Structure 1
Amino acid sequence: MSQTIKADIAVIGAGSGGLSVAAGAAQLDLKVVLFEKGEMGGDCLNYGCVPSKALIAAASAAHEARHSGHLGISAKAVSVDFAKVMAHVHATIATIAPVDSQERFEGLGCQVVREAARFVDARTVASDSVRVEARKFVIATGSRAMIPPIPGLDATPHLTNETIFELKSLPERLIVLGGGPIGAELGQAFRRLGSEVVIIEAEAILGREDPEAAKVVAEQLEADGVELMAGHKAIRVEAGPTVVLQSGDREVRVSGSHLLVALGRTPSIDDLNLEAAGIARDRNGIVTDKSLLSSNRRVFAVGDAAGRGQFTHLAGTHASLVVRRALFALPVNANAVQVPRVTYCDPEVGAIGLGEAEARKQHGADIRVQTFEFAENDRAQAEGDTRGFGKLITTARGKVLGVTLVGRHAGDHIQLWSLALTAGLKLSQLTGMIAPYPTRGEISKRLASAFYTPALFSDRTRKVVSILKHFA
């Protein structure tokens, strides 16, 4: 017979969002029950952000060793021990895992139930061993790899981000279905570790990003030896594995030793019995209002399950909003959150806000676009890596609409623009800051300053200066 528990808040899912809500509530002495059917830490720790960046770090080290001749450094031979690479990946996970562990959260006062939970009615969830009646619920179940209904795919062994980090040997030839961030990042990493790699994409590589920025990354992928097959749609998969593609009016066959499916993600909410609790959903996830409340006013959704974007940092932000709304009854607005994103290829792409095409669609002629090349940045020149640029998009009056950076460590430098958009900073405040020299971060000040350049050196300004010089 199931045990019945009365709780202040029940959290389903122990990933970034769920853990943050649970920790906040427990430290405020609320009764918290936390359900997790899989690994504590969720997808990011175990199958996503952490292992992929550890793998990328190893791949980058191998690449730098091979390609530092322009700096006067030459390595005659680079040896990759794939077993040790994967040991590094799993050691990284193990080092971070205690922060997300069951023991830590029980120490905070949470009751952790390592079972799948589902709604019984509008105010009750149940697992195999417990029933929980709570004042509030938070769905934080994340997402999983989307496996499309391509004929033959279900019958052919394939990898996803949840299984690729369990490989024991380096793939000889890796076929990657999907040219988005996951496919591009892992494809480049495995190529640099020594695999042959082909990336298949029905549309454009990194199609969500600024086309000029995506082109910089695609050129580097090709320079690394990755075969890019953009504009090719997979129509079936055969044993081998072999992927049969449609290219115009002909079929193309691509064979390899391993197949990675990286065609996006889908929210993990199918097994929650949402109907029993009156919780509405759509193709993106659980339908929520600006307070992240579902159609059941006791139930919040955060992170990937909320269908507002699939980023660990967004899930953490959602968690903080839910704590403010559910525990302190403060107004919040998830619709107003400015969310940066980074693709961790080499070079990285960092972006926030509107892209140029979207800005033109929404604002018409009332936009200004400033660009600055890393080739004009002294630190980039000193490092011998001038790939990429920054692009700033504003209204004609200088309101920041969006920024894209592509280049080394772009993900670190996009953070200033995240602050600018979140805090509503003016461009004049960015031009007034002192950027240490020489740093790649100077690019942000140069972009902001470029907005004022036409007015500063205009004929009108020259005339004003010619008059003022007599009074100086």
Structure 2
Amino acid sequence: MKTIQTDVAVIGAGTAGLAAYRAAIAAGKRAVIIEGGAYGTTCARVGCMPSKLLIAAAEAAHEARHTAAFGVHVDGPVRIDGREVMARVRSERDRFVGFVVRGVENIPESDRLLGHAQFIDNTILQVGADTTVRASRVVIATGSRPAVPKAFDVFGDRLIINDDVFAWEDLPRSVAVFGPGVIGLELGQALSRLGVRVRVFGVSGSVGPLSDPAIRAYATQAFNREFSLLPDVRVSDMRREGDEAVITFEDADGTVVTERFAYVLAATGRRPNVDKLALENTALALDARGVPVFDPVTLQCGDAPVFIAGDANDVLPLLHEAADEGRVAGENAASWPQVRPLARRAPLAVVFSDPQIAMVGQRFADLTPGSFVTGEVSFEDQGRSRVMLKNRGLMHVYADRATGRFLGAEWMGPRAENIAHLLAWAYQQGLTIAQMLAMPFYHPVVEEGLRTALRDADARLTQLKQAA
């Protein structure tokens, strides 16, 4: 049995864990990083990057099918080679993972421990069968994994998660997707555009991260022009027959339908990877999910020298948030018992569908009714969007009635990923609608649609002042 003494032990070598380790080292502390699986972040291996590779192939296929409206005619049908598509996805995915792995391998070998960590007490860890780590502080950065309802077990090996999609060597003929969240929408639309028969099932009416009913309804209609999206469906039977998943459900018009699929993709959320850490051996209070109760501002678990960052705490499971949280968790672990608050950036979320979906700042659902005005724009007649035949979308921007300050936005529309950054910067700077309208807008650009929504909000604010 080997014993290692260290100032900070970081469990998990993903985005948050690597940031925590580097922050602790930069603060002059001795630190070790422990990984129980293969190196490579969720983003690089099974998340952001491979999904965008699949989406890029899908967009290429979609654009090739829709050139005639420009007077550009491609002879013959578009041919999609599923094996070539997936070969590029896997190859480029492995390249991105390689960058991460090389970064981890640059960490001194003495600071890297391979093996599953379990708590013996608050700051003593058992790693594998032969190593004990005695730390002064611990950072939990173990990430998350897909959460699959038990009822889906009936599908056996016809049931997959997003991790499995990126290991495919060829595209299947059909997939049922459960969960119209970010993962379900992105993969569902991409597979549909690549020639896979797709149905996306939901149970609560949600569509991506949207909370504004008007934007959610618009998005539902937009997606249903390409593939079947049933955001609030009643499924009466699920079973497996041979090599097929069989699902009976009520269609949009109430008709009972039974369909067969090659696979069922469960995109039904994620759960923190904390259940195998033996947290019961610590004095930490745990919530209903088994996650240590922590301060979301300092990331400290109770009053113990234990911190939790990234997807493991499930506050904002996004790469840039995980990196920020990991850095602050590492700094606070290094400086404990002195800790400092995490200054969070402007809330920002993007779904890489087509049209894209984005949210910035405060959600519609979190705003107090009567305290704000809504500015609106449709992208259907927006100049640059129509030129590119990308003229689908609806945007709402929210402004405080009393101060005119920009509060947030939810929308579906072209180039939302770019517009979202402009709005996130404006929100983080605390700008008013008037100050945003004083900024330059070039012509002709998609951002002129944003200006229209801001002008609409400004007009509503002016009406309120005149009526007062």
**Matching residue of 2:136:** 135
Please list, as runs of the form range in 1=range in 2, the aligned pairs for 1:367-382 lying within 5 A after superposition: 367-382=372-387
Q: What TM-score, normalized by structure 1, do the two folds share? A: 0.88
Closer, same or farther in 2 for the Cα pair 1:69/1:279, shift >3 Å? Answer: farther
Matched, 1:332 2:333: no
Q: Secondary structure at the match of 1:163?
A: helix
Contact kept in structure 2, 1:14 and 1:40, CA below 8 Å = yes
Q: Distance in 1 between matches of 2:383 and 2:221?
A: 23
Q: Secondary structure at the match of 1:282?
A: coil
Sequence identity percentage: 27
Q: What TM-score, normalized by structure 2, do the two folds share? A: 0.89
Q: Distance in 2 between matches of 1:83 and 1:166?
A: 11
**Matching residue of 1:322:** 329
Closer, same or farther in 2 for the Cα pair 1:30/1:105, shift >3 Å? Answer: farther
> Cα deviation per residue 1:407-455 (whole Å; 9 max; x = unaligned)?
1221221112222222323333322221333222333344334333356
Contact kept in structure 2, 1:150 and 1:236, CA below 8 Å = no
Matched, 1:185 2:190: no
Deviation, structure 1 residue 350: 0.6
Q: Distance in 2 between matches of 1:158 and 1:416?
A: 40
Contact kept in structure 2, 1:184 and 1:345, CA below 8 Å = yes
**Matching residue of 1:212:** 214
Deviation, structure 1 residue 457: 8.6
Please list, as runs of the form range in 1=range in 2, the aligned pairs for 1:459-470 lying within 5 A after superposition: none
Q: Secondary structure at the match of 1:241?
A: strand
Deviation, structure 1 residue 338: 3.3
Closer, same or farther in 2 for the Cα pair 1:459/1:87, shift >3 Å? Answer: closer
Closer, same or farther in 2 for the Cα pair 1:190/1:106, shift >3 Å? Answer: closer
> Cα deviation per residue 1:308-340 (whole Å; 9 max; x = unaligned)?
132222212212332443345552146x65321
Once the two structures are overlaid, the 10-residue window that deviates more, 245-254 or 184-193, is 245-254
Q: Distance in 2 between matches of 1:275 and 1:296?
A: 17
Closer, same or farther in 2 for the Cα pair 1:383/1:275, shift >3 Å? Answer: same
Q: Distance in 2 between matches of 1:59 and 1:26?
A: 43
Closer, same or farther in 2 for the Cα pair 1:59/1:286, shift >3 Å? Answer: farther
Please list, as runs of the form range in 1=range in 2, the aligned pairs for 1:274-285 lying within 5 A after superposition: 274-283=279-288, 285=291
Deviation, structure 1 residue 205: 4.7
Matched, 1:112 2:112: yes
How many residues align? The count is 454
Please list, as runs of the form range in 1=range in 2, the aligned pairs for 1:367-406 lying within 5 A after superposition: 367-397=372-402, 398-406=404-412
Gaps of 5+ in 2: none
Q: Distance in 2 between matches of 1:404 and 1:443?
A: 14
Name the amino acid aligned to 1:150: A
**Matching residue of 2:18:** 19
Contact kept in structure 2, 1:205 and 1:218, CA below 8 Å = no
Q: Distance in 1 between matches of 2:347 and 2:81?
A: 37
Instruction: Please report the RMSD computed on the Cα atoms of aligned residues, expressed in angstroms.
Output: 2.7
Q: Distance in 1 between matches of 2:54 and 2:461?
A: 47
**Matching residue of 1:353:** 361
**Matching residue of 2:57:** 58
**Matching residue of 1:469:** none
Name the amino acid aligned to 2:419: H
Please list, as runs of the form range in 1=range in 2, the aligned pairs for 1:185-334 lying within 5 A after superposition: 185-206=186-207, 208-209=209-210, 210-224=212-226, 226-234=227-235, 236-239=237-240, 240-245=244-249, 252-283=257-288, 285-289=291-295, 290-295=297-302, 297-327=304-334, 329=338, 331-333=340-342
Relative contact order (alpha carbons < 8 A, sep ≥ 6): 1 or 2 greater? Answer: 2
Q: Distance in 1 between matches of 2:37 and 2:382?
A: 46
Q: Distance in 2 between matches of 1:92 and 1:142?
A: 23
Contact kept in structure 1, 2:235 and 2:249, CA below 8 Å = yes
Closer, same or farther in 2 for the Cα pair 1:246/1:268, shift >3 Å? Answer: farther
Q: Distance in 1 between matches of 2:426 and 2:288?
A: 32
**Matching residue of 1:343:** 351
Name the amino acid aligned to 1:347: P
Deviation, structure 1 residue 77: 2.0
> Cα deviation per residue 1:158-184 (whole Å; 9 max; x = unaligned)?
110111111122111111122222111
> Cα deviation per residue 1:6-32 (whole Å; 9 max; x = unaligned)?
122211112211122223333454322
Q: Distance in 1 between matches of 2:254 and 2:384?
A: 48
Once the two structures are overlaid, the 10-residue window that deviates more, 345-354 or 72-81, is 72-81
Closer, same or farther in 2 for the Cα pair 1:91/1:24, shift >3 Å? Answer: farther
**Matching residue of 1:467:** none
Closer, same or farther in 2 for the Cα pair 1:445/1:241, shift >3 Å? Answer: same
Contact kept in structure 2, 1:27 and 1:108, CA below 8 Å = no
Name the amino acid aligned to 1:179: P
**Matching residue of 1:470:** none
Closer, same or farther in 2 for the Cα pair 1:357/1:457, shift >3 Å? Answer: closer
Closer, same or farther in 2 for the Cα pair 1:441/1:323, shift >3 Å? Answer: farther
Closer, same or farther in 2 for the Cα pair 1:183/1:27, shift >3 Å? Answer: same
Gaps of 5+ in 1: 462-472
Deviation, structure 1 residue 460: 6.8
